[in-house]
Amino acid sequence: MKINFIIDYKEKKFASGKLFFLSGENILHETNAYSGSKFATEKNKGALQEGSYKVVSFRLTNETPFTYDGFGWIAGIIPEFKTDRFDLAIHPDGGIEGSAGCIVNRWNKEESLKIFNLIRDGLEQGTMFLNVIFSGRQK
């Protein structure tokens, strides 16, 4: 299984689009997501860069930044290319809206559980990659 984050809108340090969970070329699930923040923070280096990332870890958590609607989890990702970005992940958007580069959304519990299960099942099958692709407009 693989994940594609297709960015269709980019503005300064914020990008939004769709996350696609794929088995071969078949779409298992799609959901809205965003990366970065429209709000300036010291940590915010902007939206995730285009490229390939390896999903390397996955865990449940109740930490506020990774929990929304009572359900928290985090899937760590590592770029497969040279960059100064680190501590990147896919997770529910708890706390202050937006991220420092992670792929997030304020998914309801049902949607978050579906994404959690897809990532867990994908990692159980072996190596999983995330591809970040910009296909839209930039402001």
Region 32-55: what's the mean pLDDT?
85
Read off the pLDDT of each residue in 43-66 and give the average, rounded to a whole number. Answer: 91
Ordered by where they begin, the domains of the chain are 2-138 (2.40.440.10)
Q: pTM for the complete prediction?
A: 0.92
Q: Which residues sit opposite 5 in a β-bridge?
A: 19, 132
The model's confidence at residue 41, banded by pLDDT at 50, 70 and 90, is: low
Q: What is the mean pLDDT of the chain?
A: 91
Inter-CA distances, 99 with 1, 57, 70, Å: 25, 18, 19
pLDDT of 66-85, one tens digit each?
Answer: 999 999 999 999 999 999 88
